[in-house]
């Protein structure tokens, strides 16, 4: 999956475009800028909302990847524990025959194996101990291989977890920076007369209790669940029950309809039948928006959608005709 809206993108968004807000004005060192128009600010907010949708789905994917890496780490940690027991058992056997009958240089050589700097050096030293019996040599071989497995398991587990945690932190930073940029632009928009700083351009809200046809079977149950969540807050990474993000609402709704969907919009876009003709969608179908599929919602019929819009807004039912219809990419029928 591509990773749109990463940290560099978010930082650029937060500091470029229409400028940085300070006391309600735009400031750029050494440059005089004209006051932005209301249309310019609204256009910028629309762009940032798309970036925010991408950022939250990137964060969701990074969080999923982190949880998977954590589970793998825990599993490998258990294997490390098992291998550590085997390592200790073999080490004790090597110590026993090292201390049994050998003296002088031979004893020192065997003892050196026990204090070797890692498995590679240990195996190299083992190759030189040609005076050992076949059984002792086999035990020492097992000891070296066990040490090598132990080092490899530890390195693999730690590296995977560190990389996943770093990606998660970067994605979280990116979404926070985009959200801050949106708040700055909304502050500017609020200074214009007759402006609605909380509105997305062309949302064409249809209210919270639409008279929409309901699908059958799982689609009906999914929509019933989605309607029951209307009015709850949008929450970054939210999967309920107190709040949701867009893909979190879709996932929870279709779970109520008997279908387990992936967590992110990117994963949900690959489940089921794709429908590219808006006139062919049916209630309960999942609608996907923006070129990077950063947002989705459930089609409610009558040209309406139930969705979790963005931070600062509540879950709602909106009309598709004005804004969302122009951002539609395709629908998926689970």
Q: Which residues are catalytic?
A: 246, 295, 307
Query: Whose CA is closest to 187, among 10, 26, 33, 309?
Result: 26
SS3 276: coil
Q: Which residue has the tokens 């990606």?
A: 167
Cα dist. 98→39, 41, 108, 127, 133 in Å?
83, 79, 9, 16, 12
Residue 200 CB neighbour total at 10 angstroms:
18
Chain centroid, CA 140 distance in Å: 45
d(CA 48, CA 181): 7
Classify residue 194 by its DSSP letter: T
d(CA 269, CA 332): 7
Residue 264 buriedness (CB in 10 A; 0-12 / 13-18 / 19+):
buried
Q: Are 214 and 224 in contact (CB under 8 A)?
A: yes
Strand partners, 301: 304
Q: Quick one: CA torsion of 11, 12, 15, 17, rounded to 10 degrees? A: -150
Q: Are 289 and 278 in contact (CB under 8 A)?
A: no
């Amino acid at each position: 999956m591509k990773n749109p809206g990463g940290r560099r993108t978010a930082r650029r968004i937060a500091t470029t475009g229409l400028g940085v807000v300070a006391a309600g004005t735009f400031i750029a060192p050494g440059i005089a800028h004209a006051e932005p128009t209301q249309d310019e600010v609204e256009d910028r907010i629309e762009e940032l909302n798309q970036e925010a949708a991408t950022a939250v789905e990137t964060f969701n994917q990074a969080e999923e990847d982190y949880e998977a890496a954590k589970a793998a780490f825990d599993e490998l940690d258990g294997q490390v524990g098992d291998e550590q027991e085997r390592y200790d058992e073999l080490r004790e056997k090597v110590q026993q025959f090292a201390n049994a009958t050998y003296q002088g240089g031979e004893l020192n050589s065997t003892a050196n194996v026990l204090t070797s700097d890692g498995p590679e050096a240990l195996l190299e030293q083992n190759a030189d101990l040609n005076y050992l019996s076949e059984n002792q040599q086999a035990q020492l071989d097992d000891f070296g291989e066990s040490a090598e497995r132990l080092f490899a398991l530890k390195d693999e587990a730690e590296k995977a977890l560190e990389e996943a945690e770093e990606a998660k932190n970067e994605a979280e930073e990116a979404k926070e920076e985009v959200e801050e940029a949106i708040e700055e632009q909304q502050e500017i928009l609020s200074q214009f007369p007759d402006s609605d700083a909380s509105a997305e351009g062309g949302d064409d809200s249809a209210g919270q209790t639409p008279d929409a046809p309901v699908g059958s079977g799982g689609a009906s149950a999914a929509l019933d669940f989605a309607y029951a969540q209307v009015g709850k807050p949008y929450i970054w990474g939210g999967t309920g029950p107190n709040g949701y993000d867009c893909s979190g609402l879709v996932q929870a709704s279709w779970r109520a309809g008997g279908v387990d969907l992936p967590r992110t919009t990117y994963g949900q876009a690959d489940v089921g039948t794709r429908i590219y003709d808006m006139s062919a969608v049916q209630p309960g179908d999942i609608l996907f928006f923006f070129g990077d599929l950063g947002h989705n919602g459930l089609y409610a019929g009558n040209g309406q959608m139930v969705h979790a819009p963005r931070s600062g807004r509540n879950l709602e039912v909106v009309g598709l005709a004005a804004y969302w219809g122009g951002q539609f990419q395709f629908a998926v029928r689970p």
